[in-house]
Structure 1
Amino acid sequence: MNKEEQLLQKRLAELSETAFARGIVTFSDFLNLNELNILHTTPKDMFPARYETYGGYGLSERQMVAFLPDALYYEYVYPVSAIEIRPVNRKFAEELTHRDYLGALMNLGIERCKLGDIMADDGRAVLFAKEELAAYITHELTRIRHTTVLAEQCTAAEFDYVPRYEELKGTVPSIRLDTVLSVAYPLSRSKLTSYIEGGKVFVNGKLITSNGCQIKESDRISIRGMGRLAYEGILSRTKKGRYMIAVRKYI
């Protein structure tokens, strides 16, 4: 663990200690997959208060941590806002990518840790951000590249993002990480192994570097730079003892 990762671990431990000692809920900034892995692999005795994570919707990759006191007896709300970004005039709008949206936000002087996932789809984007920044973003974000945009805060009732996916099926000899990935990504075994051993694959937010990791139904797998998928389970078994499985590859 490098110095930056040690500082993150220390900061999370301090938030946990504050929640425990003062009996209040404390929240972190948004953590990326690497940072979430540090959270999940930190010895539990470093966190006197239990924790939960959330990023605004069920399949979020960037998530905020809530440290909860043992005596918590009331409901709490994550300080996360959903913001819809869309062109003012769709007819003259450019095709904007995730990088375009993120770049425009960075140009406003916003740190990446203050922003959650950005879902760009069908000519618009939905962004999750720390609640304290919502007013600033909706007021200041008026242009992305050459496209004039409108940013508006969404309520929970208005937010209905459902990620698109394709369902893929294939036969595998066992339900291991590398074989499940091979159904979604038609790459050689050595190529898939290099991704796994290179620290680019996360299962349910935890870094996995072993090809032989056993995958369970509903596990979510993220591959840095390639996307994410969900393992749906075994559909049937062939006469030769192989498994027909299904995965959802998000697009």
Structure 2
Amino acid sequence: MEKDEFFLKRIRELANLSYQRDIVTFSDFLNLNEQNMVSSLKRQFPQIVMETFGGYENAERQMVAFHPDALAFTWEYPIDCLKIEPKAIKFSESLTHRDYLGALLNLGIERSVIGDIVVQEKAAWFFCQNKMTDFFLDNLCRVRHTNILITKVDDPDELPRPKLEAINGTCASVRLDSLISLAFKASRSSMVSYIEGGQVFVNGKLITSNGYEPKEGDIISVRGKGRFIFDGMSHQTKKGRCGVRILRYI
């Protein structure tokens, strides 16, 4: 509880600083629960715009930017993207998201300075606060037992694009618990605890109702399981079940 109160105090300070000095202020990278907490404060600061971005479209971990409603100058998020590749692919290990995150945290940094880590085949991309870029370039040289090369990505076309797996199926109704069970190949009853336990977010907003009905295009995240896009209904079966399509991040 004290941790949450300290976090909200810091968010209020950033919002007030933006308003008082007519500048843009930025949070650290926030997880979904923290983003939801920030969203709950918006009404307290009607004169401040709160926007989020994580370095690429639909990022899960995002920064919040605070700026006055009538801001007259352009600005950018202080985010860089760095790419990690093995020095010798032939001798490299099969590395996971956990391996890359562990190597970064072993440098003694806080999780809040790092955004998403996107792993694809033998490479990984991660987003960070730009004030940390040189530190990572100078100090990250190995992930597990694999010697690596790390470079800054300057070309937007080289930014990672998450891969999506299409899942088609049917459910009795387009409810949150039904879609989650389909996405993660689990029983609907086993997913209830995730929803009621505050581990499910729709477009970054905490949802605790099993009967919530997502809209087409909504991004649904389940902590500890993954996330997916509800791509809409495709048809209705003769027995009245709903044919749905899901795009799961892999």
**Is this a same-fold pair by TM over 0.5?**
yes
SS in structure 1 opposite 2:168? strand
The match for 1:84 is 83
The percent identity for this pair of structures is 46
Contact between 1:82 and 1:159, CA under 8 Å: does it hold in 2?
no
Find the counterpart in structure 1 of residue 220 from structure 2.
221
Q: CA deviation at 1:232?
A: 0.6
Maintained 8 Å contact 1:203/1:219: yes
Instruction: Tell me the CA shift for residue 110 of structure 1.
Output: 1.1
What does residue range 167-182 of structure 1 map to in structure 2 within 5 Å? 167-182=166-181
Deviation of 1:43 (Å): 5.2
Measured in 1, the distance between the counterparts of 2:139 and 2:42 equals 41
Secondary structure in 2 matching 1:31:
coil
1:138 match:
137
Question: What is the RMSD computed on CA atoms of the aligned residues?
Answer: 1.4
Residues 152, 158 of structure 1: CA spacing in aligned structure 2 closer, same or farther, 3 A cutoff?
Answer: farther
Provide TM-score, normalisation by structure 1: 0.95
Q: How does 1:9-88 map to 2 (within 5 A)?
A: 9-42=8-41, 44-46=43-45, 48-88=47-87
C-alpha contact 1:23 1:71 (8 A) present in aligned 2: no
Unmatched segments (≥5 aa) in structure 1: none
Corresponding position of 1:128? 127
1:230 corresponds to: 229
65-74 or 232-241, which deviates more = 232-241
Is the partner of 2:57 in helix, strand or coil? coil
Counterpart of 1:125 in 2: which secondary structure? Answer: strand
- 1:16–1:47 Cα contact (<8 Å) kept: no
Distance apart, 1:47 and its partner CA: 6.0
Query: Which contiguous aligned blocks of 4+ residues in structure 1 show a shift greater than 4 angstroms?
Result: none
Bigger drift between 15-24 and 153-162 goes to 153-162
Q: How many residues align?
A: 250
Secondary structure at the counterpart of residue 63 of structure 2? strand
TM-superposed deviation, 1:40:
1.5
Contact 1:172–1:242 (CA under 8 A) maintained in structure 2: yes
- Cα 1:19–1:43 shift into 2, 3 Å: closer
- Unmatched segments (≥5 aa) in structure 2: none
